């Protein structure tokens, strides 16, 4: 395992891995998450007595945003991807929790499993802009071999072999001004996944086009706004048109199957055409 010298980068990587694994557990177990962020552990000097000067070597990890900078603005392509995945995880967690705990819709949570499984293939994108050492650490966690990382301006590439010896390549193109990242995964030289996201006035829009090993196709479209959002699922044989950032907050409802959460209101259309509408009651953690 490779050592990451920069502690802030290390925490970022660990956080993104944890998010990816949490998404998988939500899908596989049929259990949702509350969407709340975990409270940080108090620092050792939190219990200092009043009047005791703080230790000199306690640098602050959180930078104060500049006056015209949004607090969640992305600095690197990897951070942009991580922020998007976190927003997506909150919405999918609620959708999965709602379906799993509503009588008669428990099995419909399986429809959301694909969009979460694809994220494991995209996990190395969290290293875009952070360098080869971070990429090696992430892929070491996934037991990958022969890792090769490169970047050229706003373009990124990571090549590696998985535990079964299959050759993977993840390519990314980042538009920082639009906070937009497009990723393409190649398996044994063949295009397997195309994923992109863009920041919008209400949150994020995203879409994933996946070619399965059996030759079938799936497209997932997402609109995320805080803890609310819509996930649409459809089967088409070609990648959809690129996102523009002007999509409506409900554009995934054009898909043949979709699920939406707005506050505690859950609506959707299942894979077999059933229309859903019920009040979501979050499960106890």
Q: Write out 53-65 in H/E/C secondary structure.
A: CCCCCCCCCCCCC
User: Which position has the higher pLDDT, 33 or 255?
Assistant: 255
Q: What's the sign of the alpha-carbon dihedral 116, 196, 258, 90?
A: positive
* CB proximity list for 145: less than 8 A, separation 6 or greater: 160, 161
Per residue in 180-236, pLDDT tens?
A: 999 999 999 999 999 999 999 999 999 999 987 777 789 999 999 999 999 999 987
Task: Give the residue numbers spanning the domain of 12.
Answer: 7-34+71-279
The CA distance from 248 to 262, in Å, is 15
Average confidence (pLDDT) over 17-23: 45
| pLDDT score, position 200 | 96
| pLDDT score, position 251 | 97
Per residue in 85-131, pLDDT tens?
A: 999 999 999 999 999 999 999 999 999 998 888 888 899 999 999 99
Position 57 in a domain:
no
Q: Is the pLDDT of residue 39 over 80?
A: no
Q: Give the position of tokens 């050592």.
A: 3
Q: Is the pLDDT of residue 278 over 60?
A: yes
The CA distance from 259 to 92, in Å, is 9
| pLDDT score, position 24 | 40
| pLDDT score, position 66 | 37
The CA distance from 85 to 23, in Å, is 9
Position 64 in a domain:
no
| pLDDT score, position 219 | 94
CA triplet 230, 278, 90: central angle to 5 degrees?
40
Q: Give the closest residue to 245 by CA, choosing from 153, 156, 177, 173.
A: 177
Position 16 in a domain:
yes
Q: Please report which confidence band the pLDDT of residue 16 belongs to, taking 50, 70 and 90 as the band edges.
A: very low
Position 148 in a domain:
yes
Q: Which two tokens stand for residue 34?
A: 């509350």
The dihedrals phi and psi of 114, each to the nearest 5 degrees, come to -60, -45
Per residue in 57-98, pLDDT tens?
A: 444 343 333 333 333 445 899 999 999 999 999 999 999 999
Position 52 in a domain:
no
Average confidence (pLDDT) over 250-254: 97
| pLDDT score, position 38 | 38
Q: What pTM was computed for the model?
A: 0.74
| pLDDT score, position 75 | 86
| pLDDT score, position 169 | 97
| pLDDT score, position 140 | 86
Q: Is the pLDDT of residue 285 over 80?
A: no
Position 51 in a domain:
no
The dihedrals phi and psi of 234, each to the nearest 5 degrees, come to -150, 165
Helix (H, G, I), strand (E, B) or coil at 145: strand
Position 23 in a domain:
yes
The structural domain count of the chain equals 1
Give the dihedral of Cα atoms 230, 236, 239, 242; nearest 10 deg. Answer: -40
Per residue in 134-182, pLDDT tens?
A: 899 888 887 889 999 999 999 999 999 988 899 999 999 999 999 999 9
């Amino acid at each position: 395992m490779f050592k990451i010298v920069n502690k802030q980068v290390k925490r970022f990587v660990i956080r993104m891995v944890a998010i990816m694994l949490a998404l998988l557990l939500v899908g596989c177990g049929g259990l949702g998450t509350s969407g709340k962020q975990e409270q940080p552990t108090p620092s050792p000097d939190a219990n200092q007595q009043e009047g005791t000067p703080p230790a000199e070597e306690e640098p602050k990890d959180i930078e104060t945003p500049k006056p015209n900078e949004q607090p969640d603005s992305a600095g690197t392509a990897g951070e942009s991807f991580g922020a998007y995945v976190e927003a997506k995880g909150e919405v999918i967690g609620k959708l999965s929790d709602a379906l799993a705990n509503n009588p008669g819709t428990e099995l419909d949570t399986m429809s959301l499993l694909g969009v979460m499984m694809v994220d494991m293939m995209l996990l190395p994108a969290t290293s875009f802009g952070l360098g080869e050492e971070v990429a090696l650490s992430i892929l070491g966690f996934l037991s990958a071999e022969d890792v090769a990382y490169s970047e050229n301006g706003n373009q990124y590439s990571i090549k590696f072999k998985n535990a079964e010896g299959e050759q993977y390549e993840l390519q990314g193109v980042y538009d920082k001004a639009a906070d937009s990242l497009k990723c393409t995964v190649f398996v044994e030289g063949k295009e397997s996944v195309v994923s992109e996201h863009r920041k919008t006035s209400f949150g994020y829009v995203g879409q994933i086009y996946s070619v399965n090993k059996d030759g079938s196709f799936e497209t997932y479209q997402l609109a995320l706004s805080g803890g609310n959002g819509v996930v649409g699922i459809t089967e088409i044989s070609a990648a959809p048109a690129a996102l523009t950032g002007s999509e409506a907050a409900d554009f995934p409802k054009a898909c043949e199957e979709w699920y939406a959460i707005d506050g505690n209101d859950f609506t959707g259309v299942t894979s077999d055409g059933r229309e859903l509408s019920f009040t979501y009651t979050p499960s106890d953690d």
